[in-house]
Amino acid sequence: VFARAPVAVAPAAAEPARRARAVVDGLVARGQVVYGITTGVGDLATVAISPDQAAALQANIARSHAAGVGEPLPAEAVRAIMLLRAHTLALGYSGIRLETLQTLIAMLNAGIVPLIPAQGSVGASGDLAPLAHLALVVMGEGRVLTEGGSRPAADALREVGVQPVILAAKEGVALINGTQMMTAVGALALLRAEVAAKSTDVTGAMTAEALLALPAAFDPDLHRVRPQPGQQTSAENLRRLLAESRLGRPADRVQDAYALRCMPQVHGAARDGIAYARRAVEIEINSATDNPLIFAETGKVVSGGNFHGQPVALALDVLAIATAALATIAERRIERLVNPHLSGLPAFLTREGGLHSGLMLVQYTAAALVSENKVLTHPASVDTIPTSANQEDHVSMGSIAARKAARVVEHVAQVVGIEALCAAQALEFRGWEQAAPAVRAVYQAVRRVIPPLERDRILADDLAQAYALVVEGALVRAAEEVTGPLG
């Protein structure tokens, strides 16, 4: 759940924004030829626009570029887009009027959520179509989301007392040119991936206890000689999660299967990929991605390609690939939990197998999600297709990378929840009271919302509860009450 904190322009940002706007006004007054201000856009950049047409050009850009299709983006994603777009405009390089920026922020604070179709961006020149649907609402056009569907933006703005803007020169371009759709959707997926990565260490520890995994695989000396950062963190987490276990290990077992033994290596590699994505997204959030950019201190206007989404697209492809690995290995642990030939526990973790199928089908569900992720993790950023009469001849597909990453992360959280469900049930047979204190705490967190499986029941309800435990961070919080903050 993301808090709806109020947003305001920092006092320090107001003056740079005014100075950049003064540069734009000067360009228009002089009739100087500058892309997107006194010319058309894309392959129409050679068409000059007179000063008296400058405002009409900006409104027309917003209307013509609002060409999205498909399901609307979720409200939380749209709000994130609005916040990130306001932030990049407030950096003072876009030349937008302060009152236009304040209108965008007023919409956000008033709960106005533009209807932005999910599809239509190729990620250069930025997320044009999605951001154009946002710009329409700033103008009092387009539609906004409601609980039951959508309504005209003009009506919604009137009700909350927000006055629509008549766009001035440069403002249409400033509102639609940038990477905020891919960055916003990617940032939300990234935050959830970080929770999923930590949760996977927790559920992996539960499974390790239920299957009596050997703790030697997490020995600090073993991991010291391969100092991959994520691996170090996951190994340390697992040592703390499994500390003080009273469950006896088989004396004749030399080593465990990879899904248990290699948790630090696989979870850790995923963590490193997620960390790379975080660095790229954090930089992008704080970047100026408009075109052209206004450098008020020198009066320079530069038309370039900061809108190109390749850095974000590549990072979000990595995010999807890295996070998918967490589910892939977790599904193998789920199989070991429900398979009596591998676990030594009752088949499908039910006491009356045959009459009851127990948790047989939740492994099917995990397998289906993992297999779907294998399709979704095909990189979007390796693709490109020319647009705008071949003027924009290399694009990033960043919005597609973002939406795919968000779906992958959702699937991973579902699989991690299934592992928690299965591991808790396995501990019923193994003796959860003898498990490590942190694992006992997590087991009890599961049991507060999901009772033990005594006989067959509708499992979809249990899966929904388990998913919620993961995405809300409840499993991690339960563990950290014992271990302290995990890495």
Helix (H) or strand (E) holding 72: strand 69-72
From 35, 93, 443, 467, active-site residue: 35
- Which residue type, as a one-letter code, is found at position 245? S
CA distance readout (Å), 418 to 106, 210, 423: 42, 14, 8
φ and ψ at 119, to 5 degrees?
-115, 150
How many other CB atoms are there within 10 angstroms of residue 464's CB atom? Answer: 13
Q: Which residue has the tokens 């009066």?
A: 299
**Cα(319)–Cα(112) distance, rounded to whole angstroms?**
30
Q: Beta strand 293-295 with 300-302: parallel, antiparallel or unpaired?
A: antiparallel
Backbone dihedral region of 126: left (phi > 0), alpha (psi from -120 to 50 degrees) or beta? left
**Please, what is the end-to-end C-alpha distance for the chain in angstroms?**
21
443 is catalytic: no
Token pair of 275 as six digits? 């960390």
> For residues 140 and 25, is the Cβ–Cβ distance under 8 A?
no
Burial string for 402-439 (b: 16+ CB within 10 Å, else e) reads: bbbbbebbbbbbbbbbbbbbbbbbbbbebebeebbbbb
Active site residues: 35
